[in-house]
Structure formats: structure tokens, C-alpha cells
Structure 1
């Protein structure tokens, strides 16, 4: 079960609109969770500046933080007025992702909300800043990246990997399913489940025996993925109309599925690989994520979860 008692929301002090707060408040209304609004500020001119003495520098920092704190209180006031529990926290320091991670360590929230960068292109795609990528790598709690576009709040999709081709622990797929089902019930969302796979293209097959049996190879792979997908979903009462097995590359299939099905929230599992200390969602994380036109909820393996055999 996904605990929803404490939600941490990163506030962008440079923006008027706060989509991360809007989404977190929407969730808090149905869960009763406490919200904390966090703003992290840093101004290089107020860090060891030769223009001010230490006392003036400290006063200038305090004044800037007081201004940011007042903004948090203004954001919190209408939410408190409707009965939500909201606390505020302002911090000085950089880089932003480390400040956020430090607060996560202190607060132990159940979920972190952060807005993505607004895109001004023809398509409102999910633009991930360096802070977003660092949080994908290191955030120990579920991370909800909020898309700046209009929120319909109608449909979610869990992207699953039953053959664990991304070296993802088997238990993580079941957590994704359980989380999707819980959110769907709690928030009245229509939940779908997607697995996509891509056979080796015919143009890259040079082995004579495989060339001769290529169609059989594709059918065999399709059958294997279908069986694994059905086996994964077997314990759950999920109608066939909400189970989607698609052939194609994830960076093409997932964004297209999200767009065509008008998915509002995509759930994916993050995996730390090797010694790169890098969170990957499959082998094509950046291309998948940068092409998305919806919110993204990322779950990490829990301590002790082992990879599937």
C-alpha cells in the first residue's frame, strides 16, 4: 500500500503558477495528507560578496528568505482555509536537488512533487531540468513530476516490464500495479497497464539461419512477452480492455500511447545501474521521458528487493 500521510512540494519562486502544488493539493483533498511547501533559495551575489560586509550579507539573505517565506504563506492560506494541513519551509543553499534530498531525509515524506520546466514548443512535452534528472537518480521516495499542461485527472497508465529487460527487480512491477490500482480507486482514475517490446529489426539480422526463420523468431518473442505479461497481471482483476501489449520501441510506443489514450499520469519504475549512479527507466529513459505529454510518477526499488531471475 502507498502511504499518503506527508507530501513534500517543491515551490518554484520564479514562477507565478505552481502546478506541483495544484496536483499535491488535489491528492491531499482525497487522502488527508499533510502538505509541506519547500522553497530553496540561493543568490551568488549574497555568497561571499565583496560589496557587503558579513552583517549586511546576512541581513540581505534573511530579507530574501523572509520574502520567499511570505510567498509560501500566501500559497498556504487558501489551502488551510479549505481544511488542508499545510506547513512551509524555506532554505538557503545549492544545488537545488541536494537541498531537496536533505529535506526528504529530515521529513521522510511519502511522496515528492516537483514541476517540470515549461515547454514553449508546439507540443507541451515533459522538459526535465538537471534537478529533475538528479532527483530521478537519487530521490529515495516516489517522485511525481508534474507536467505544466492542463490536468484532466481522468486516466493513468503503469508501464510494466515483466521480462525485466532493464534489470529491474521483479517486485517493482507489482508495486507499480498496486500503486496504480490504489490511486485509481482513491482518485477515481481509469487505470491501464502497458508493456511494449521490440524484436531485433530484420535489417539488423545477418545470421543466415535467423534470416530464414525471422518470422518465427518474431512470433516466438511475441508469445513470450504475451505470456509474461498475462502471468504478471494474473493475480489482479484487470479487464482485458485495460491490458495493452504493444510491439515497438519504448521511446516511440509509450509517448504515443499516452497521447492517443489521453493519459494524465504515467507510472514507471526507476533502476540504479552499475557504478554510474544513474537512474534509468529502460535503456531509453531520456528519449521516453522527454517525449511525454503527461505527469510522471517514478517508483524506486525498495531496500531488499532483488532482481528477478
Structure 2
């Protein structure tokens, strides 16, 4: 899978660290990606100015958009942008997530980069409503970023779901790994496969006395080991870079990220009704809230945004 080439960088005027911009520039230097800096603005008071005509309100909005474009140009002057192709887009829209998605669809961006907020007390990510809408509805992968740099020779986690026999899960696993490996080439990083498998159902052990919990658990673990090994062989990822643990994804994935000091976790989002509980539902919310690193969320190949 090729590196991202047409990247939409969501600018947050309130973010003094400019996390998304820094990450986008870093990626562009390494991969020759073209960047579009995108800012969605809206002021309800402009719509409520009854003393002004419609034409006068349009002029006020246009002036504000021009002012924000000039601000973005000044902001870029603070960074090294040599040899990086950069466009600027400012739109007037009262729903930021919808403006972002429509921009991505209109101009066929292959990646959206957005900064996240961070809890000062726990250093965990805090996902805003806009973040969740993007994860659910964006037509392309979404990279949610923190302040830290991406060092060379870092660690990338591909969070796979090896227990399912369903074709859409298997296809999504492959997309996750392919995107992780593509990012690893750009960042000169190592890819680790991470998978969680469940424990034996407690109610079965209670209702069926002859049920051998230990035998069941061993068989389940071996099944996941075999499936993980098969993915590893297919993508050239050795067993030393495969992390398998019993437990829930919201426990296993953050623990693996902490142990590896990962810079990036690549995971899948399945858009059925909003988000599937397969990963991006309640489970994924717990996973994402506990991660102390960047997150790259990947959609199935046939996903169509509900805003398209």
C-alpha cells in the first residue's frame, strides 16, 4: 500500500501546539505528501444580524474567511515548509465534522489529520464529539495526534482481530497491517501485531459441569496463535513482533502500547450502523481513551461515508 499522498490537516485555532500541522509537515517531508490546511469557522451572531442585508452578511463572512486564510499563511511562516506542497482552505460551516468530511470527499483526500486534547492529570487522549464523528463517518483513514515527535526506529502497533472467521474482519485485518507497514516505511519504524482473545464464558462453566475451562482456553489460545502466525508469515512479521494476550481489547491494546512505548496504534473501524461493536463502539471508546499515543483509524475498503 502506498504512502498517503493527499492529506487534509484540520487546523484548530485554539491549539497553541499546532499538533496536527506539525505531524502533517513531518509526514510531508518524509513522503512528499501534498497538504491542505483546513479550517472551519462559524459565528452565529453573523446570522442573527437582522440590520444587515443578505449581501452585507455575505461580505462579512467573506472578509472573515480572508482574514483566517491570512492567519494560516502567517502561521506557516513559522515552520520549515521548503519543498512541501501546501494548499489552504477555510470554509464557513456550523458543524465542523461535517465540513471536514465534505472537504475530504470533494477533494478525494486519502488521510485526515486532527489534533486531540490531552488530560493533564493522566496524559491520556480526550476525544471530542468531532473526533468521534470523524472516526464514524470519514471516508478515509483518520490520524488523531498528540504533541510528541515521531522518532526514527519507533514502534507501530497493528491491532488485529484474528479470532473472527468473517470475511470483512479478515479483509480489515489486512488493511490494518498494510497501512501499518506503509507508515513504518515512512517513519522507519517496526510493526507489531497485537491481538486480544477472550476467556472462557463463565456461564458455560457453571451450567455444564463437565466443561473443561482449561482445555477450552488452551484451544482458544492456540487458535489465535495459529491465526496470528499466519498473518505474520503473510506479511513478513516475525513471532518476536507478535503480541497475543487473553483479555478485552480495551485492556490488551493499551497495555501493549505502553510496554512497547508505541508511537502509533493502527486499528480498524467498521461502519455499519454508526460503528460496529467489533472494535469501534463501546470497546473502541475504552481503547482510545486509554492510549497514550497517536491513533490511525482505518475503514473497510468498501466503506461509504453517510455524508457522501
Q: Same fold (TM over 0.5)?
A: yes
Inter-partner Cα distance in structure 2 for 1:196 and 1:150: 27
1:50-79 CA distances to partner (integer Å, 9 max, x unpaired)? Answer: 364545533432332222111211233355
Give the CA deviation at 1:277.
Answer: 2.5
Inter-partner Cα distance in structure 2 for 1:166 and 1:22: 38
Number of the residue aligned with 1:150? 148
Contact 1:272-1:280 at 8 Å conserved across structures: no
Q: Tell which deviates more after alignment, 161-170 or 33-42.
A: 161-170
Give the CA deviation at 1:152.
Answer: 3.9
Inter-partner Cα distance in structure 1 for 2:81 and 2:9: 18
Number of the residue aligned with 2:139? 140
Contact 2:243-2:256 at 8 Å conserved across structures: no
Give the CA deviation at 1:80.
Answer: 6.6
* Residues 1:304 and 1:114: Cα distance change in structure 2 (over 3 Å): closer
- Secondary structure of 2:200's counterpart equals coil
Contact 2:3-2:186 at 8 Å conserved across structures: no
Give the CA deviation at 1:13.
Answer: 1.7
Contact 2:3-2:183 at 8 Å conserved across structures: no
Aligned residues: 300
Inter-partner Cα distance in structure 2 for 1:41 and 1:186: 32
Inter-partner Cα distance in structure 2 for 1:6 and 1:292: 27
Number of the residue aligned with 1:300? 299
Contact 1:76-1:86 at 8 Å conserved across structures: no
1:168-203 CA distances to partner (integer Å, 9 max, x unpaired)? Answer: 431121121122222212211122111111213547
1:136-169 CA distances to partner (integer Å, 9 max, x unpaired)? Answer: 111111111112x423432211001122389843
1:20-63 CA distances to partner (integer Å, 9 max, x unpaired)? Answer: 11111111101111111000001111113336454553343233
Instruction: Point out where structure 2 has 5 or more consecutive residues left out of the alignment.
Output: none
Number of the residue aligned with 1:169? 169
1:13 equivalent to 2:10? Answer no
> Could you say what the CA RMSD is over the residues aligned between the two structures, in angstroms?
2.3
Contact 1:166-1:281 at 8 Å conserved across structures: no
Number of the residue aligned with 2:25? 25
* Residues 1:61 and 1:50: Cα distance change in structure 2 (over 3 Å): same
- Scaled by the length of structure 2, the TM-score of the pair is 0.89
Contact 2:156-2:262 at 8 Å conserved across structures: yes
1:98 equivalent to 2:108? Answer no
Q: Tell which deviates more after alignment, 198-207 or 3-12.
A: 198-207
- Counterparts of 1:1-309 in structure 2, within 5 Å, are 1-50=1-50, 52-79=52-79, 81-120=81-120, 122-147=121-146, 149-153=147-151, 154-164=154-164, 168-200=168-200, 202=202, 205-209=205-209, 212-273=211-272, 276-278=273-275, 280=277, 282=279, 284-303=283-302
Inter-partner Cα distance in structure 1 for 2:165 and 2:81: 48
- Secondary structure of 2:62's counterpart equals helix
Contact 1:13-1:68 at 8 Å conserved across structures: no
Contact 1:160-1:194 at 8 Å conserved across structures: yes
